[in-house]
Structure 1
Amino acid sequence: MLQFDEETARVLEDAYQGADVSQRRRATFDALAPAPGDRILDLGCGNGLLTLELSRAVGPSGHVTGLDASPQMLDAARQRLQGRANTTLTEGDAARLPFEAASFGKAACLQVFEYLTDRRPALRALHKVLTPGGLLAVGDMHWDTLAWHSDNTNRMARMLEAWSRHMAVRDLPAKLPAEMHSCGFEILKTQPLAVCDTTLRPDGLAMMMIRLIRAYAVDIGATDKDDAAAWAQEQEELAQEGRFFFSLTHFVCTARRL
């Protein structure tokens, strides 16, 4: 697992709460339309940002349960959710949810499924813990929509190929509706959300990805530190010259449990 220095950790935290990533959370939030009294599962809750936002919406009569496989992420979520009596955090696996049948009326799953080689066990587990008619909103990137300018196209291709190794599937939004249908869900809609950055915003998704990809490519031995640094430096220079361009599309698939 990558270890981040203090500066990288700050950049990541800025990005998590910046406009690009906040819009992705908001798209999932809006798809679920949380209401007072709702009981919601946030599957893969990470650092708890969506869990917190949902907990505000369901109010004291509702409840939001966050589940994540990472103890480190759950520690961050606990700090964020301090004092929120209508939230619970649980460590667990997406395919083996530790909840009773029909425990939740709604479930969110934001950027989790693209890391699963087989999504059906998790979908069947979600089907079990949702009430009949319950809503499921799954948000993930379609990585084949990524457009990222570089004057050194070979190096860019090499860096992005290295990054692709951290995910199980690049085109999840194209595969997911059929997989959800096969696990007992009725697809309601698939909503795209395009992220486009032409300035390299300090709190943007592109800035966060530069930090992550640079470290990850070196960590897995796909390139050396000098090559990765040169790639990142080029992006900074392109931004200074007014030639930076980054675009990636996120999709939210909303379904009803049959």
Structure 2
Amino acid sequence: MLKFGHDTARVLEDAYQGADITRRRRASFDTLAPAPGERLLDLGCGNGLLTLDLARAVGDSGHVLGLDPSPDMLDLARARCAGRGNVGFEQGRAETLPFADASLDGAVSLQVFEYFDDMRPPLCELFRVLKPGGRLVIGDMHWDTLTWHSDEPARMAEMCRIWDRHVACRDVPARLPAVLTEVGFRLFAVTPVPFSDTQLRPDGLAAMMIRLMTGYAVQTGAMTDADAGAWAKEQRDLARDGRFFFSLTHFVCHAQKP
């Protein structure tokens, strides 16, 4: 599992406000459709961008709870939502949610479930804390949809294999519907949110992934600085020459507790 330490948190703090990640976040927000006065959970809230969006939507009569295992991310989230009385944050894990039974109107989780070896425990906990009729929205990448052009396909394949090690499940959108149904949820829809680029945009998903993948490969000892740097440089060179291509699909899953 990728460790979201202080340095990584700073990378994400910048990139997550870019156009691609904002669109991905908005897709989950729109699917959840928060209403005034609701009590909502942002599971794996990270740096609090979605938490803040939800807090604005529920208003002073509502409340948004942010839960994350990373102290660094929670520091950023608390700073972002400072002064808002309708937001609270806790450090914790999805397998043991610190909330009462049937106490939440809705819950959202954005790119979190790919880190679970077994999705059933967190889904059972979410089922427990949601009220009857409570909505659940889970967004995750399907990493099998990644297409990334390179003149060095063997090196690209190796970098992608290394990156796969940071997740426990690389095809959450394909597996999630059956598990949701198994634990008692009613599945409504699984909606694709595709990303495709022929430019290496500074605020884009590909640029963020280049930074994260290079750092991860080097920090884990899976690739040398020189090899990882050469991989990243090739993508910048391809973009300069008008030959860059990147595509990846995110999926938003919408379910409800009967």
Superposition TM-score, scaled by structure 2 size: 0.96
Does the CA contact (< 8 Å) of 1:2 and 1:215 recur in 2? no
State the Cα distance separating 1:4 from its structure 2 match.
6.7
SS at match of 1:95: helix
Q: Which amino acid aligns with 1:89?
A: F
Question: Aligned residue for 1:196?
Answer: 196
Q: Is the 8 A contact 2:197 2:247 kept in 1?
A: yes
Where does residue 205 of structure 2 map in the other structure?
205
**Residue aligning to 2:75:** 75
Distance 1:201 1:178 in 2: 36
Alpha-carbon shift at residue 76 of structure 1 (Å): 0.7
Residue aligning to 1:99: 99
- Measured against aligned partners, the alpha-carbon deviations of 1:183-217 in whole angstroms (never above 9, x if no partner) come to 11000000100011211100111001001111111
**Are the equivalent residues in 1 in contact too, given 2:13–2:47 (CA < 8 A)?**
no
CA–CA separation in structure 1 for the residues paired with 2:63 and 2:96: 21
Contact 2:123 2:183 in 1 (8 A): yes
Matches within 5 A, 1:1-258: 1=3, 12-258=12-258
Unaligned runs of 5+ in 1: none
* Structure 2: gaps spanning 5 or more residues: none
Question: CA RMSD, aligned part only?
Answer: 1.3
1:175 is paired with a residue whose SS is: helix
Deviation of 1:44 after TM superposition, in Å, equals: 0.4
Give the 4+ runs in structure 1 shifted more than 3 A: 1-5, 8-12
Deviations 1:1-20 (A, max 9, x none): 47676xx8765333200111
Contact 2:148/2:247, CA 8 A, preserved across alignment: yes
Query: Retained in 1: the 8 A contact 2:44–2:67?
Result: yes
AA aligned to 2:189 is K
Determine the C-alpha separation between the residues in 2 that align with 1:129 and 1:19.
33
Alpha-carbon distance between aligned partners in 1 of 2:211 and 2:153, rounded to the nearest angstrom:
19
Identity score, percent = 62
Shift of 1:219: 1.3
Distance, in Å, in 2 between the alignment partners of 1:254 and 1:2 is 27
Distance 1:126 1:189, change over 3 A: same
> In the comparison of the two structures, how many residue pairs are matched?
256
| Contact 1:11/1:203 (<8 A) preserved | no
Offset from partner CA, 1:122-163 (integer Å, 9 cap, x none): 000000000001000000000000000000000000111000
Partner letter of residue 172 of structure 2? L
Contact 1:2 1:216 in 2 (8 A): no
Conservation of the 8 A alpha-carbon contact between 1:43 and 1:67: yes
Q: Distance in 2 between matches of 1:64 and 1:2?
A: 22
TM-score by length of 1: 0.96
Alpha-carbon shift at residue 112 of structure 1 (Å): 0.5
- Matched residue SS, 1:141: strand
For residues 156 and 4 of structure 1, the distance between their equivalents in structure 2, rounded to whole angstroms, comes to: 27
CA distance, structure 2, for counterparts of residue 109 and residue 90 of structure 1? 15
For 2:28, the aligned partner's letter is T
Tell me, what secondary structure is at the counterpart of 1:254? Answer: strand
1:98, 1:89 → 2: CA distance?
A: 11
